[in-house]
Amino acid sequence: MSKEETAASTSTMKTALSENMLFGMGNPLLDISAVVDKDFLDKFGLKPNDQILAEDKHKALFEEIVKRNKVEYHAGGSTQNSVKIAQWMLQKPHKVATFFGCIGKDDFGKILKKKAEEAHVDAHYYEQTEEPTGTCAACITGDNRSLVANLAAANCYKKEKHLDLDSNWELVEKAKVYYIAGFFLTVSPESILKVAKHASENNKIFCMNLSAPFISQFFKEPLMKVMPYVDILFGNETEAATFAKELGFETDDIAVIAHKTQNLPKENAKRQRLVVFTQGKDDTVATVGDKVTMFPVLDIDQNDIVDTNGAGDAFVGGFLFALVQEQSLEECIRAGHYAANVIIRRVGCTFPEKPDFH
């Protein structure tokens, strides 16, 4: 390679990343995490490893968890976690990641704004006064985490009041990779569809996550409306199994589920759908062309696992970091595994100052 060519190729790499290239939209929540015991889980009817939406019976849970010793507050919300991790792995330029969601005009809302700023994410929140900023109780037992989300303000996102505004829609148009967790289907499916259709019509990459079993069970209709626009679908083994059951795939073989999911109807034929299922410490399953391949995760000593909350979000964040740089599927998965490995050694979805990924 001549000097000119080398210079040209490095400069294309530099110009390859620009502000607002990665767009995320979802439920911004403040995570309240505490180590609890089995009695606490039983009292509120929680499974050790689950994600649910808070009901009236969980009101007391939020009051009780904040009184526990060593309670920690972290900026959370699935999509926000993922774009924040992608930005952390990219480091520079700042604000490659954009995030939209709804918060309240309150202290928790201020914390979320400050945390997004510290993470160099270009967050544009729709702020309203009807509901307080959403919270998520992360009830930790051993290496399990049971998440109870009280969406509150996050549930108040309005397409016409935020996404449709010219100044905001311009940020959507600037992106080339889009990621929205399935959790947002409970809030604003019309916002998701608008973004997904834009991506599809412009041959950009739209990614989604199955997020939790209850999404496939109770929000199957909006999920399947968006599915034709999904270029990359993420999920874990439990979510994949529930999705397969709801769609009548009649199999619990994760590789077969991945393959059948890949072949669901798709709008933009220029891109074959990619399906990526994580399985905790077991191999990550991904569709590669018409085949399904297993990718082993990084080894970790059980004693080094502090908290698995945010592991799935981190995997997606690492994946998006490589994807936005147009790297291969293998590299995207390797980056995802690295990010998840970092996150599970720490409380909440938090990370050291700089990544150590090569």
Encode pLDDT of 93-130 as tens digits.
Answer: 999 999 999 999 999 999 999 999 999 999 999 999 99
47, part of any domain:
no
CA distance 354 to 41: 35
**What's the structural domain count of the chain?**
1
Catalytic annotation, pick one of 106, 307, 313, 356: 313
71, part of any domain:
no
253, part of any domain:
yes
200, part of any domain:
yes
pLDDT, tens digit (0-9, with 9 covering 90-100), for 216-273: 999 999 999 999 999 999 999 999 999 999 999 999 999 999 999 999 999 999 999 9
Q: Which residues constitute the domain of residue 170?
A: 22-28+76-133+151-344
CA distance 334 to 298: 9
Q: How confident is the model at residue 11 (pLDDT cuts 50, 70, 90)?
A: very low
CA distance 67 to 75: 19
CATH of the domain at 302: 3.40.1190.20
104, part of any domain:
yes
Asked if 51 contacts 282 with a C-beta cutoff of 8 angstroms, the reply is no
347 pLDDT above the threshold of 70:
yes
Strand 122-128, strand 97-104: pairing: parallel
Q: How confident is the model at residue 12 (pLDDT cuts 50, 70, 90)?
A: very low
CA distance 68 to 1: 62
Closest CA to 33 of 84, 71, 77, 81: 71
CA distances from residue 266 to 196, 215, 263 in whole angstroms, order as listed: 12, 20, 8
138, part of any domain:
no
160 pLDDT above the threshold of 90:
yes
Q: Is 304 a catalytic residue?
A: no
CA distance 208 to 70: 34
Has this prediction a pTM greater than 0.85?
yes
